[in-house]
Amino acid sequence: MNGSYIGRYRIEGTLGEGASGIVRRAYDPLMDRTVAIKSVKSEAMNESEIARAVSEFHHEARIAGKYAHDNIVTIYDVVTYANLDHIVMEYVAGRSILDYLISTGPMAVDETLAVVHKCAVALAYIHYHGVIHRDVKPGNIMYHPAQRIVKLMDFSVAHNIEETPIPDIGTIAYMAPEHFDKRRRITQLTDIFALGSTMYRMLAKRYPFTRDNTAYQIMHLDPVPVEQIRPEIPTAVSAIVNRAMAKADADRYQSAAECALEVEQVMHELYPGSDLMDPSDQYLRR
């Protein structure tokens, strides 16, 4: 589609592609800026699948389009073209944490702390506004090391806290135990567990739980400690992972802000000269 248009947006290339969606880089001549456009891969789907995907697009736009934050991908618009709706969003330089892990291997400890801190700040912001992300994972975090950009994206399964959530939506590898226990509620703490699982993978380059009976493992077993996989990981860092991934709500960080502040403290203790991390007070202590 390079050189063609979706509405007024001139397509310049493909940024990413999944089973049901594709994200393209485009140019907006009216605003003179580069954008990203998320579209349904209609040619690979039947009518009901297309309808469900478009419904998720509308849901994502309604949820995430209200908010503007340094660590959240901004949604600009939803446009209709060729009988389909397309989400127009901020173009973010860099690549996802997942792509980064695949190409470079596990991340440095200080780099991991910096990324997790920004993600926790983003979660603190959306939780304050009553939104649970529900799908925090490496593939949903955009990252540009040189520019120190970290942005949480894809709110397609997010929901407002006052709504009754649909269970078992998200990515099972990062799901919290409460997804699989009908007696428990999905809350902001669910996102914290997913962030802990993401941090685990960033440090270990492997999932915290295997593919065999994953739900059972999440509910009843502890993952191999990250310091056993990488002995150079400081105890204070593995403690953050363990607390974020605690199976009981009471044992987890009670807010994303609390998690962000502890990550910041550990960063300063371990890497006192580092400038990778922005201070939390510009977001959390006002």
Task: Find the CATH number of the domain harbouring 239.
Answer: 1.10.510.10
Average pLDDT of the chain, as a whole number:
90
Beta bridge partner(s), residue 151: 142
Which structural domain range is residue 263 located in?
Answer: 95-284
Among 90, 116, 133, identify where a domain stops.
Answer: 90
User: Using N-to-C axis directions, what is the helix angle for 109-128 and 188-204, rounded to 10°?
Assistant: 170
Q: What is the CATH number of the domain that holds 56?
A: 3.30.200.20
Structure token digits, residue 17: 């592609």
**H or E segment at 236?**
helix 235-244
If asked whether residues 15 and 136 sit together in one domain, one would say: no
| pLDDT surpasses 80 at 168 | no
Whether 252 and 120 have beta carbons less than 8 Å apart is answered as no
Judged by phi (left if over 0) then psi (alpha if -120 to 50, else beta), residue 76 lies in alpha
Q: Helix, strand, coil: what percent of the chain each, to 5?
A: 40, 20, 40
Same domain, 70 and 162: no
Least confident of 46-50, 127-131, 192-196, 199-203: 46-50
Query: Among 157, 156, 151, which residue's Cα sits nearest to residue 72?
Result: 151
The pLDDT of residue 53: 78
Question: CB under 8 Å to 191, separation ≥6 — which residues?
Answer: 123, 127, 132, 133, 134, 136, 256
> Could you read off the pLDDT of 71-91 as tens digits, one per residue?
999 999 989 888 888 999 999
- Considering its fold, how many domains does the chain have in total? 2
Weakest mean pLDDT among 102-116, 161-175, 187-201, 260-274 = 161-175
Percentage of residues in the chain having pLDDT higher than 90: 66
Higher-confidence residue of 81 and 279: namely: 81
At residue 183, the 3 state secondary structure works out as coil
Q: State residue 12's pLDDT score.
A: 94
Percent of the chain with pLDDT over 70: 94
